[in-house]
Amino acid sequence: MRALMRGLTDAEFERRYGQEEQCLVALMASRVQAGMSCPACGHGRSYLCGRRVGCTRCNRRWSVTAGTVMAHTKLPLATWFRAMHAMSSTKQGISAVELGRRLGVSYPTAWYLHKRLRHAMTERESRYMVGGPGTDGSAPVVEADDVYLGGERNQGSGPAGKTRVIAAAERHPRGRMGRVAMQVVSGFTAAAVRAFCDARLAPAAPVHTDGLRAFNAFGGAGRSHQRTITANKRPSRERTSAFFVLNTAIANLSTAIKATHKAISAKHTPDYLGAFCWTTNRRRDMVGMVPALCRAIATSTSLTRRNVFATDTVPIG
């Protein structure tokens, strides 16, 4: 099991994805698997001609990267794949500065790559729900809590300038951590909690929270909701205790932010959280990270420079 917690070695990565042609084949395979069809006639069968894809019915051609986060890229696919490897082979991820250094590209190029890959992870992650039955049929309990990120330290102990996040983690029997989901919300209100439930919680998943008033909304729609008043109590360090897995996930998030960012801006927090959850939820198959990220790219939507630099994702709720 330990061995799986490490990603591909650099040598193995080079063997599988070191050549432009190998990356092209891998990306094309993921796009076909994701159901790529001709933009002109909707036909589902295509052929590859360099970096262009052609329709076997009407002969329309388009780029293998069209319509994804990689759209309009001028970089070699091998550079993208090296970025995918660098960003997914450790639990903390890496900063855009470090990515630029490893790839030998400028900081703006690295930043934009970094942003787009995190966006693909976030889009993929937003389609998953937590709290569904495990592969062994066990039903996890979803622990959820409010988290404040970023903001100015010297504005007192209140949440001024901070980004509000609902964090949730599956607690399986014997305290095993399952999937995590984290989402920026406009405030800790009943409406935001209901929006979080609709977007990220499996129907009827049991939820366990502290006594925050807005969290009563977790109890709607026939969902079982357990509340434990935790005010002023130190969290228990027992693995099987309430909120142990959630507190572990939040501590890991904090470590990852410190390892890669001086400060995390509110604008980029949604993609930061999406990428963190994507990586956390795939931690048991680190070797499969590059193909998984390739699949995430194949199902992503394009992100133009304009919407990267304009106001980002609107918080839910």
Which residues of this chain interact with Zn ion, rule CB under 5 A?
A: 38, 40-41, 43, 55, 57-58, 60
- Provide the minimum distance between the beta carbon of 63 and Zn ion in the complex, in angstroms, as a whole number: 15
The nearer residue to Zn ion, 58 or 221, going by C-beta atoms, is 58
- Provide the minimum distance between the beta carbon of 48 and Zn ion in the complex, in angstroms, as a whole number: 15
Contact yes or no for 243/145 (Cβ under 8 A): yes
- Provide the minimum distance between the beta carbon of 125 and Zn ion in the complex, in angstroms, as a whole number: 32
CA angle 17-291-84, nearest 5°?
Answer: 65
Tokens representing residue 217 in the block:
């909304």
Strand pairing class (52-55; 46-49): antiparallel
For the chain, give the longest Cα–Cα distance.
67
- Provide the minimum distance between the beta carbon of 38 and Zn ion in the complex, in angstroms, as a whole number: 3
- Provide the minimum distance between the beta carbon of 70 and Zn ion in the complex, in angstroms, as a whole number: 21
Helix or strand holding residue 204 (H, E): none
The nearer residue to Zn ion, 32 or 97, going by C-beta atoms, is 32
Contact yes or no for 120/68 (Cβ under 8 A): yes
- Provide the minimum distance between the beta carbon of 43 and Zn ion in the complex, in angstroms, as a whole number: 4
Helix or strand holding residue 60 (H, E): none
Contacts for 166 with CB less than 8 Å, ≥ 6 apart: 144, 145, 146, 147, 182, 183, 185, 188, 192, 193, 196
The nearer residue to Zn ion, 31 or 114, going by C-beta atoms, is 31
The nearer residue to Zn ion, 63 or 90, going by C-beta atoms, is 63
The nearer residue to Zn ion, 57 or 225, going by C-beta atoms, is 57
The nearer residue to Zn ion, 53 or 69, going by C-beta atoms, is 53
Contacts for 242 with CB less than 8 Å, ≥ 6 apart: 143, 208, 228, 236
Contact yes or no for 133/105 (Cβ under 8 A): no
